[in-house]
Structure 1
């Protein structure tokens, strides 16, 4: 079976729909989600990203391209606002390097291959070492029927993130996850979480929206292979014209995330 018809690229601005959203606009509501942040894209819009290490942000590949020209955005003019809420962030960082999968082509028509490779890894100019901002672990792709959630910013709610806690994995096709999360303009790159085991872990990011039998759905890549490729690209010193970054003192994805004592409160 092919991918759903009526595919629509979220184009640097896509987000969970208004049905089951909970706005995280208070300190109590946002506690545990501070590692999700807004990515400001050189004045051309914004995406959502999430820390998976003190100096690594996961987002969608199409976020680092100018949708008008198709050219790469100067990543040094991209800023990550960790936990951005009502005019203030828990940490502000510029992006030092950005890598996307070698097979990703922004100019390609939206397809399973493009969604499957729609992932970017951004290295920050300085690690975020803040006891209130704890990077998320990632997890293997979820199975059909598993419940997931999305934390995102959006066009009409750019000043605080919102949580859509319960949507489901409808299918896994050609390396693409099809989920019942209702996404629209505002949350490209937003982390998709599994809550299995009691703590949220990132299993995908929002890439595109689509319709399946008249139902709005979200599309995202499986992290397993693309994320491994991106980590290898950074380790090899790649990253859009900059010198290799130092690789010392980095907390790798998969290491413990509770060393700071921060705790999650499940919504």
Structure 2
């Protein structure tokens, strides 16, 4: 963990960060139907009383999110996927579509523990298969794309503990560095933003290029960390398609920070938002 913190700190403070936080746009609350229409495939995940995360539809019956969202933080065991609900386009008490989850799978190399490392963040992705596909014409699944490069502009749509009723869009933030497959970004995230889709706007339509895994603070510099996608999504899809697919066990680990918990007061803070 110490080595990973030092590596991130070196990237941020050693002159390698090419994106200035001052150039980032502010969070925009998507409170109206018109403002949020293009983002209805981003939804809130209600985690059976364990808090909330953010997820995004990438197929009519598949939701992409962070792997750590699928674990009970107190018992460190996997949640029963059928107790999770996806609320597509959730806004002020209403959703464009409501779906329960049938099964789920996490990255086969993901380890649920307290050791902040490039492996943990890089593999912090999961796929949820819904009990029924969403065929609503206003909820269009997003396509995915290759990982962005350092200096690229990106955006994030997310919920958080203090904005759980309305999603927010940060249309412009940046990739500050890439460390061992992990994206270090300037995007504004908080508790509840785990699993939020990171978008590239290089094409006519936004494409998901990463998933929010953690937020970090190194010597006063606030950053967010994103998981890798690429071929890993094919692994997850194959796992869901296999007999008994979607079953997973929680490795032994320690309690993660829940929605509403205060982050630990340490010199360099790494917490799952």
- Scaled by the length of structure 1, the TM-score of the pair is 0.82
User: The residue matched to 1:121 in structure 2 has which SS?
Assistant: strand
The two structures, once aligned, show a CA RMSD in angstroms of 1.8
User: The residue matched to 1:172 in structure 2 has which SS?
Assistant: strand
Give the drift of 1:60.
Answer: 0.1
Residue of structure 2 equivalent to 1:4: 8
- Distance in 1, Cα, partners of 2:218 & 2:231: 26
Residue of structure 2 equivalent to 1:188: 194
Tell me, which stretches of 5 or more residues in structure 2 are unaligned?
A: 10-23, 249-273
Show the 5 A alignment for 1:106-185: 106-185=112-191
Q: Of 218, 221, 235, which residue of structure 2 is paired with 1:215?
A: 221
124-133 or 179-188, larger mean C-alpha shift? 179-188
Residue of structure 2 equivalent to 1:53: 59
1:203-237 Cα distance to aligned partner (Å, 9 max, x none) = 00100011345311110112113212111211223
100-109 or 125-134, larger mean C-alpha shift? 100-109
Aligned residues of 2:43 and 2:56 also touching (Cα < 8 A):
yes
Aligned residues of 2:45 and 2:54 also touching (Cα < 8 A):
yes
1:170-205 Cα distance to aligned partner (Å, 9 max, x none) = 111111111111222221100000011231100001
Are 2:71 and 1:86 equivalent residues in the alignment? no
Residue of structure 2 equivalent to 1:240: 247
Residue of structure 2 equivalent to 1:226: 232
Give the drift of 1:19.
Answer: 7.2
Tell me, which stretches of 5 or more residues in structure 1 are unaligned?
A: 6-17, 242-267
- Scaled by the length of structure 2, the TM-score of the pair is 0.80
Aligned residues of 1:108 and 1:114 also touching (Cα < 8 A):
no
- Distance in 1, Cα, partners of 2:241 & 2:209: 22
Residue of structure 2 equivalent to 1:41: 47
Q: Of 23, 26, 50, which residue of structure 2 is paired with 1:20?
A: 26
Aligned residues of 1:4 and 1:211 also touching (Cα < 8 A):
no
Give the drift of 1:69.
Answer: 1.3
Aligned residues of 1:170 and 1:178 also touching (Cα < 8 A):
yes
